Structure 1
Amino acid sequence: MLTLKVLSLLLSYPEAEMLEALDEMASVVEQENLLQENHKKSVLALIDSYRGVDLLNIQEQYVALFDRGRFLSLHIFEHVHGESRDRGQAMVNLLQMYEAHGFEMSTHELPDYIPLFLEFLSQQEQAEAVQLLHDAMPVLSLLGARLTERGSDFHVVFDALAGFAGEPEAFNEIRQQASTEGEDETLVNMDEIWEEEAVSFMGAGDACKSQSDAVSPITITPRDEYLKAQNRSF
């Protein structure tokens, strides 16, 4: 499922190698035909939007969008657990799943980084990839809705993922939240955040504790708890 690899690249920090591979990326999306037709056209349009751009300019735009606050963080568990120990254990479980499938991380990113997660899914059987992706859709749909509210073309990637794996049960509530929430005040409150959440991934609980085979390593908290957590002020 190389289309998921293409979507991973589109959500990653832009590099010259990606700009050189635009034709190949478009060809994969066209020929593999994994996405719904309307989503496929939108993703192809996003790929085309990179043609002829200035690399430094789009890198600056990417950082301004994804790296200067929490609302659009591309780390799945940050939207569920913040920097708590629960997030650390969740990432340990996710890393164990990667290792069990023979997937080696060749990046410094944490296991819950969405482009890395999509790269992993691109190497799995479609049924398993759909199930794991659907487990993460409450977070992915919220990100897509927030990007739509901000008028960012990146929302088409998350729309395509929802079309592929299915929308979460709480989709309408998630979309309502994105349309009514205030500004991301992460940077304003950064000192206070660091004081309250001085917990690192490596310090998370019992790193040797394994997940149950019956529990998905990316299971999101129940809907009511999830929405309550997302509405808290950081």
Structure 2
Amino acid sequence: MTASEHTMAWQAQSLLLDYPSAALLDRLSLLREVTRAVPGPVGDPLAQILDHVERTPLPDLAADYVATFDHRKRGSLYLTYYTYGDTRKRGMALLRFTHAYRAEGLVLSSEELPDHLAVVLEFAAGHPGLGLRLLSEHRAGLELLRLGLHETNSPWASVLDSISATLPRLRGSDEDVLARLIAQGPPEEEVGLQPFGGLR
């Protein structure tokens, strides 16, 4: 893929993984153009989710989004969760995202964690090199999310298929991590994450 194709794909994926709103509906025609402008393995899955969005009333779409991503651990959109769970180490991983964004002049509100997949994709669209590195570092978690969405026949599984098509294939180490995540799940250790709620 070219840099411009990565930019278009990641921006479209970011919009489709954000909470569904009227703003998304206003961008459907533009998103359709993206599906035709990027390679088939990236664009075809996006066309599938767009079909679903177009035929689903917005309140139903929003309710399904909440049920999919807010109430299921295997559906978490927070990338560091898969590697670190709710442990102290996750706080340091969140800071890595924060520092990467700040280095490029991006400041998030305190309302959003910096590892939310929609946020990471939007950042990657504007900074493809660094964005690819951040996404690739969480390749196993992305694959676990993709598999989890397919298990529940979620329409958003196609967005993860599209994301996967923009990234390198799973390597041996990633496959090992994925196998461990499938068998054991993320680490567990309840700690407060408020200090890492975003950039200030």
Question: By the TM > 0.5 criterion, same fold?
Answer: yes
Structure 2 residue 191 is matched with structure 1 residue 198: yes
Distance change (3 Å), C-alpha of 1:201 and 1:88 = farther
More helix by share: 2
CA deviation profile, 1:168-214 (whole Å, cap 9, x unmatched): 22566677778x769x9xxxxxxxx8xx513324189xxxxxxxxxx
Q: How does 1:37-52 map to 2 (within 5 A)?
A: 37-52=40-55
Deviation, 1:52, is 4.0
Instruction: Report the CA distance shift for 1:200/1:175 in structure 2 as closer, same or farther (over 3 A).
Output: closer
Is 2:49–2:155's contact at 8 Å kept on the other side of the alignment? yes
Instruction: Tell me if structure 2 keeps the 8 A contact 1:22–1:48.
Output: no
Q: Is the 8 A contact 2:19 2:62 kept in 1?
A: yes
1:110 counterpart residue number: 113
Amino acid in structure 2 at the alignment position of 1:8 = S
Distance 1:69 1:21, change over 3 A: same
Structure 1: gaps (5+ residues):
185-192, 205-234
The number of residues matched between the two structures is: 188
The Cα of 1:135 is off from its aligned counterpart by 1.6
With over 3 angstroms needed to count, the CA separation of the structure-2 counterparts of 1:11 and 1:203, relative to structure 1, is closer
- Listed one character per residue, the Cα deviations across residues 95-147 of structure 1 (whole Å, up to 9, x for unaligned) are 011000112225721011110010100001x3443333222211101100111
Relative contact order, CA 8 A, sep 6+: which one is greater?
Answer: 2
Distance 1:29 1:169, change over 3 A: same
Cα pair 1:87 1:201 within 8 Å, conserved:
no
C-alpha distance 104-131 of structure 1, shift in aligned 2 (>3 A): same
**Residues 1-234 of structure 1: matches in 2 within 5 Å?**
1-31=7-37, 33=38, 36-106=39-109, 108-124=111-127, 126-170=128-172, 197-202=190-195
Equivalent residue letter for 2:25? L
Checking the alignment, whether the CA contact within 8 Å between 2:9 and 2:42 is kept in structure 1 is: no
Identical positions, percent? 25
The alpha-carbon distance between structure 1 residues 128 and 175, as it changes in their structure 2 partners (threshold 3 A), is closer
Rate the CA distance shift 1:142–1:9 in 2: closer, same or farther, 3 A.
same
CA distance in 1: counterparts of 2:40 and 2:103, whole angstroms: 34
Deviates more, 1:149-158 or 1:71-80: 149-158
Q: Secondary structure at the match of 1:122?
A: helix
Question: 3-state SS of the aligned residue for 1:74?
Answer: coil
Alignment TM-score, normalising by the size of structure 1: 0.71
For 2:98 and 2:196, the matched residues in 1 are separated by 15
The superposition leaves residues 71-104 of structure 1 with CA deviations (integer Å, 9 ceiling, x where unpaired) of: 1111011111122111111111210110001122
